[in-house]
Structure formats: C-alpha cells, structure tokens
Amino acid sequence: MTENLLLAFGLTLMAGLATGIGSLLAFFTSTTNTKFLSFSLGFSAGVMIYVSMIEIFVKAQDALVASLGNELGNWMTVAGFFGGMILIALIDRFIPKQGNPHEVKTVEDMNKPNKEVKDRQLLKMGTFTALAIAIHNFPEGIATFTSALQDPSLGIAIAIAIAIHNIPEGIAVSVPVYFATGDKKKAFKLSFLSGLSEPVGAIVAYLFLMPYLNDTMFGIIFAAVAGIMIFISLDELLPAAKKYDEAHTSIYGLIGGMAVMAISLLLFI
C-alpha cells in the first residue's frame, strides 16, 4: 500500500487543480462549446455512475461481508452508501445558494452585462463560490485518495471524472472575480486555491484515517464514496449536461463514459 501513496496524492492534486484549467479557459475564450461541455459532463457522470455501482459498491460489500459477516456486512454497505449521499447533501444544504458549485456556468453566462450588479457584489459572489467549491471538493479529495491507495486503476478513473467536472467550477470562481477586480492573477489564484481542498482532503485522510485503514474501514469508505459519486452525478453532472444538451449529446456522453469505464475495468482491474 505504501508504494501507492505518491500516486494517490498526485491523482488527488491533479483532480483538484482542474479548477485552474477552468479559470484559464474563461480568460482565453469568449464562447463556450456547449456541445463539448454537455458531452464532457455526461461522460463524467457515466464514469462515476458505472464505476460506483459496478466496482466501488461491490468492493465495499465484499470487504464488509468478509470482515463483519453476511448480514451485518450487507447492512453496513447500504448504510455507508446512503451515508455518503447524506453527507454530500448536507454540505450542499449549508452552502450559500449563490455559491453552490452545482450551478455550472458557461463563459457567456458570466459575461452577461448587468449594470445593477456592482463590483463588490461580483467579488462577493466569486469568493462565496470559491469557498463553496473548497468545501464541496474536500470529501472528493478523500474519495480519490483512498480509492487510489487501495486500487490505483480505480483511483485514476475517479480522478479523471472529478477533474472533468471541476473545470466548469473554475470558470464559476474566476470570471466574477476578474470582472470585479480586473485582475486575472487574483481571479486565477482564488480559483486555484479553491481546488486545493482536494489534496487537503487527501492529507487529512492520510493523517487521520491511515492508522485505521483495515478491511472494515475501507469497506465503509468505499460505500460512502459510491454514494457521494452517485449523488454528484444525479444532482450536478446530469442536470448540467442536459442544460447545455444538443441532440442527445449528454446521453451519448453518459453512455460513452460508461463504455470507457467498462472496458477499462475489463482490461486493467
């Protein structure tokens, strides 16, 4: 397991810093390719849903049944799964509405002129969004880290899916801050920092969870990760993909993500 530590930290860092990519895209383009955005979000949802139900949930169930017995193990798997959903739902519940990262924004959305919105309000919106994304990404960092630690191939798949959906979040942070301050560096810095909560989540997992990482703990964490990823896919990714959909693009992305994940599992896991 020790040899996977660097990979686990690296994957978590990569996923988190994708918010910075979104920030850069917002600065250097005046339009958003909505077809590509819809496909990408659908693809990310497909990866998350498939790997959660076919691989992560099953691994959690196997580990918990092996350590706790058939009846208690199955109950703990289900409890962990819905516990993960409740956790991410509570995080969303306490995030200010204007800063909720589940509202995916395009460059055009953020560039719409509104003379009634003052610079201070824009800066506040960008700051709230950055804080919301930081809180929201923290459990995702734990999920990526623990998954990669246990199974590197699975960790790579999860990191890629999370990175894809972090890109629009970077846009949501950087553009209002840029329009409020006129400072691209400040906008990029805030977007960049909001993504760092994922590697912080990995560090917390390493410091406080590592001593207790036995089969039972891995099973509970994996079940919760599956619940978190399903919730994000259904509550965030698919609605956003449909919002920018053109000719069933989002469902093609969803199927494509599932197919790629299925082939990856067959070949590498």
| pLDDT per residue as tens, the chain (269 positions) | 567 889 999 999 999 988 888 888 767 755 556 777 788 778 888 888 998 899 889 989 999 999 999 999 999 999 999 999 999 888 877 765 554 444 555 555 545 545 444 566 667 766 777 777 787 788 888 888 988 888 888 888 888 888 887 887 787 778 777 777 778 888 888 888 888 989 999 999 888 888 877 889 889 988 998 998 899 889 878 887 887 777 788 899 899 989 988 887 787 65
The amino acid at 239 = P
For the chain, what is the HEC assignment?
CHHHHHHHHHHHHHHHCHHHHHHHHHHHCCCCCHHHHHHHHHHHHHHHHHHHHHHHHHHHHHHHHHHHCHHHHHHHHHHHHHHHHHHHHHHHHCCCHHHCCCCCCCHHHHHCCCCCCCHHHHHHHHHHHHHHHHHHHHHHHHHHHHHHHHCHHHHHHHHHHHHHHHHHHHHHHHHHHHHHHCCHHHHHHHHHHHHCHHHHHHHHHHHHHHHHCCHHHHHHHHHHHHHHHHHHHHHHHHHHHHHCCCCCHHHHHHHHHHHHHHHHHHHHC
* pLDDT value, residue 112: 53
Q: Which residues are annotated as a binding site?
A: 137, 140, 165-166, 169, 198
Residues 188, 22 contacting (CB under 8 angstroms)? no
* pLDDT value, residue 117: 46
* pLDDT value, residue 58: 93
Q: In terms of Cα–Cα distance, which of 267, 259, 107 is closest to 176?
A: 107
* pLDDT value, residue 1: 58
Sequence spans of domains, the chain: 2-268
Residues 230, 53 contacting (CB under 8 angstroms)? yes
For 29-83, what is the HEC assignment?
CCCCCHHHHHHHHHHHHHHHHHHHHHHHHHHHHHHHHHHHCHHHHHHHHHHHHHH
User: What predicted TM-score, i.e. pTM, was given to this entire model?
Assistant: 0.72
Q: Which residues are annotated as a binding site for Fe(2+)?
A: 137, 140, 166, 169, 198
Q: Which residues are annotated as a binding site for Zn(2+)?
A: 140, 165, 169
* pLDDT value, residue 31: 53
* pLDDT value, residue 111: 52
